[in-house]
Amino acid sequence: MAGSWDRAYTRRQALGVGAAGAGAFYLAACGGGSSSSGGRDVAAVFDFEYAGKPGSMNRYWKALRDRLEQSDVDARLTDLAFVNYANMEARINSNHAARRGPTFETWFPNWFIYEFITQNAVSPVQDYVRDGATDDWLFATQIDGKYWGMPFYAEQSLLIANKQHLRKAGVEIGDRLESWDAFMDACARIKRSGELPVMIGAGDSFACDKWALASSMEYMQSVKQLPLNLLGELPTDEPVVSGWMDHFNQLHRDGYINDDVTKITEAQSLDRFLAGEGAFAMLYPGIIFDKDPEQFRVVGYWNGPGRYAAPIAVSGNLLLITSYGENKEAAGRIADFMQEPEQLQLFAKITGELPCNRNFDPSDLGELERTAWQQMTNPGPGKVVTWPRDRMPTVGVDVVFELGPKAFDGESPAALRKAFTERLARYREQNSAQMEVYRQYVDTIE
Amino acid sequence: MSGPSALLRRTRGWLWVLPAVALVGFVLGFPIVKVLQYSLTDRTTFLDGSFVGLDNYSQLFHDELFWRAVKNNLILLLSVPLSIALALAITGILYRGVRGSRIYELVIFLPFLPAIASIAVVFLYLLSDGGPLNDLLRGVGLGGLAHAWLREQETAIWSILGVVLWKRIGFTVLLFMARMASIDRTQFDAAAVDGASWGRAYWQVAVPQMRGIIGLAAVLGFIEAFSWTFAYIAILTQGGPDRSTYTLEYLLYKLQFDQRLVGLAAAVAVLLLLSAVIIAAYRVYRGQREAFA
Amino acid sequence: MRAARRLAARAGEHGFLLAVALVSLFPLYVMLVASFQRATSLSGSGLLPTLDPTFENYTEVWNEFGFDRMFVNSTILSLSSAAIAVLLAAGAAYGFTRFRFAGRGVLLVVLIGTMAIPPIVVIVPLFVMMSDLGLVNEMSSAIIVQAGLNIPFATFLLFTYMRDLPDELFEAAEVDGASRWRQFVEIALPMSVPALVTTMVICAMYAWNELLIPLIFWQTEQLATLMVGLAVLAPGRSGAQDIPLLMAGVTISVLPLLVVFLIGRRALVRGLVEGGER
pLDDT tens digits along C120-165: 878 888 888 888 888 878 888 999 999 999 999 999 888 888 887 8
Interface contact flag, B12 C243, Cβ < 8 Å: no
- As a whole-number percent, the residues of chain A with pLDDT over 70 amount to 91
Share of chain A above pLDDT 90, in %: 59
Is C198 a residue whose pLDDT tops 90?
no
Contacts of B175 in chain C (CB under 8 A): 157, 198
Listing DSSP states for A249-305 in one string gives HHHHHTT-B-TTTTTS-HHHHHHHHHTT--SEEEE-HHHHTTS-TTTEEEEBPPP-S
Task: Give C109→chain A minimum CA distance, Å.
Answer: 27
Nearest CB among B12, B26, B107 relative to C25 is that of: B107
State pLDDT tens for residues A355-379: 999 999 999 888 999 999 999 999 9
The percent of residues in chain C predicted with pLDDT above 90, rounded, is 19
Question: Beta A41-46 vs A104-107: how paired, if at all?
Answer: parallel
CB pairs under 8 A between A and C: 185
A437 contacts in chain B (CB < 8 Å): 44, 46-47
CB contact under 8 A, A431 and B243: no
Q: Cβ contacts (< 8 Å) between B94 and chain C: which residues?
A: 17
Kindly tell me if the per-residue pLDDT of A11 is higher than 70.
no
> CA of B44, closest CA in chain A: separation in Å?
7
Name residue A89's amino acid.
Answer: E
User: Which residues in chain A have Cβ-Cβ distances shorter than 8 Å to C128?
Assistant: 94, 97-98
Mean of pLDDT values over A383-389? 92
Q: What's the mean per-residue pLDDT of chain C? A: 81
Is residue B111 within 8 A of residue B167, CB to CB? The reply is: yes
Residue A29 and residue C140: Cβ atoms within 8 Å?
A: yes
B12, B16, B181 ranked by CB distance to C272: nearest: B181
- Residue B151 CB neighbours (<10 A): 26
Arithmetic mean of pLDDT, A45-61: 79
Give chain C's radius of gyration (CA, Å): 23
The answer to whether A238 contacts chain C (CB < 8 Å) is no
Cβ atoms of A201 and A416 within 8 Å: the answer is no
Q: What is the mean pLDDT of chain A?
A: 87
| Residue A140 DSSP class | -
Nearest CA in chain B to A90: B257
Classify burial at A414, counting beta carbons within 10 Å of its beta carbon; exposed 0-12, middle 13-18, buried 19 or more.
Answer: exposed
Question: Could you give the CA distance from residue A385 to residue A307 in angstroms, rounded to a whole number?
Answer: 9
C217 to chain A, minimum CA–CA distance in Å? Answer: 9
Chains contacting C (3+ CB pairs below 8 angstroms) = A, B
Helices C56-64 and C243-276: angle between axes, nearest 10 degrees: 80
pTM: predicted TM-score of the whole model, two decimal places? 0.84
Closest CB from B1, B136, B227 relative to C118: B227
Q: What is the pLDDT of residue B195?
A: 57
Contacts of C42 in chain A (CB under 8 A): 271
The CA distance from B222 to the nearest CA of chain A, in Å, is 25
Q: Does C223 touch chain A (CB under 8 A)?
A: yes
pLDDT recorded at residue A58 = 86
- To the nearest whole Å, the CA of C148 is away from the closest chain A CA by 15
pLDDT, averaged in runs of 10, over chain B (293 residues): 61 85 90 89 77 88 92 93 92 81 87 88 86 86 83 90 93 85 72 65 77 84 84 85 88 85 89 84 69 39
- Name the closest residue on chain B to residue C207, using Cα atoms: B115
Closest CA to B284 of C107, C199, C102: C107
| C221 Cβ contact partners less than 8 Å away, ≥ 6 residues apart | A78, A79, A80, A81, C66
Partner-chain contact A91 C216, CB within 8 Å = yes
Candidates C219, C268, C274: best to mutate against A (most CBs of A within 10 A) is C219
C19 Cβ contact list (under 8 Å, min separation 6) = none
Inter-residue contact A140 to A134 (CB < 8 Å): yes
* pLDDT of res. A141: 77
In the complex, which subunits touch A with 3 or more CB pairs below 8 angstroms? B, C
Lowest mean pLDDT among A229-238, B56-65, B137-146, C41-50: C41-50
Q: What is the distance between the terminal CA atoms of chain A, rounded to a whole angstrom?
A: 82
Q: Which residues of A touch B46 (CB under 8 A)?
A: 115, 118-119, 434, 437
Instruction: Dump the DSSP string for chain B.
Output: -PPPPHHHHHHHHHHHHHHHHHHHIIIIIHHHHHHHHHTTB---SS----B-TTHHHHHHHT-HHHHHHHHHHHHHHTHHHHHHHHHHHHHHHHHH--TTHHHHHHHHHGGGSS-HHHHHHHHHHHTSTTSHHHHHHHHTT-GGG---TTTSHHHHHHHHHHHHHHHHHHHHHHHHHHHHTTS-HHHHHHHHHTT--HHHHIIIIIHHHTHHHHHHHHHHHHHHHHHS-HHHHHHHTTT-STTTT--HHHHHHIIIIIS--HHHHHHHHHHHHHHHHHHHHHHHHHHHHHHT-
Check whether the bond before B241 is cis (ω within 30° of 0).
yes
Task: Give A277→chain C minimum CA distance, Å.
Answer: 14
Residue C187: pLDDT band with limits 50, 70, 90: confident
- Of the residues A401, A435, A440, the best mutation for testing chain B's interface (the one with the most B CB atoms within 10 Å of its CB) is A401
A90-123 tens-digit pLDDT: 899 889 988 999 999 999 888 888 889 988 999 9
Q: Residue A138 carries which DSSP code?
A: S
- What is the ipTM, given to two decimal places? 0.83
Residues 5-44 of A with CB under 8 A from C: 6-7, 9-11, 13-14, 17-18, 20-21, 24-25, 27-29, 31-34, 43
Interface test with B, best of C24, C130, C163 (most B CBs within 10 A): C24
Q: What is the mean pLDDT of residues A202-222?
A: 92
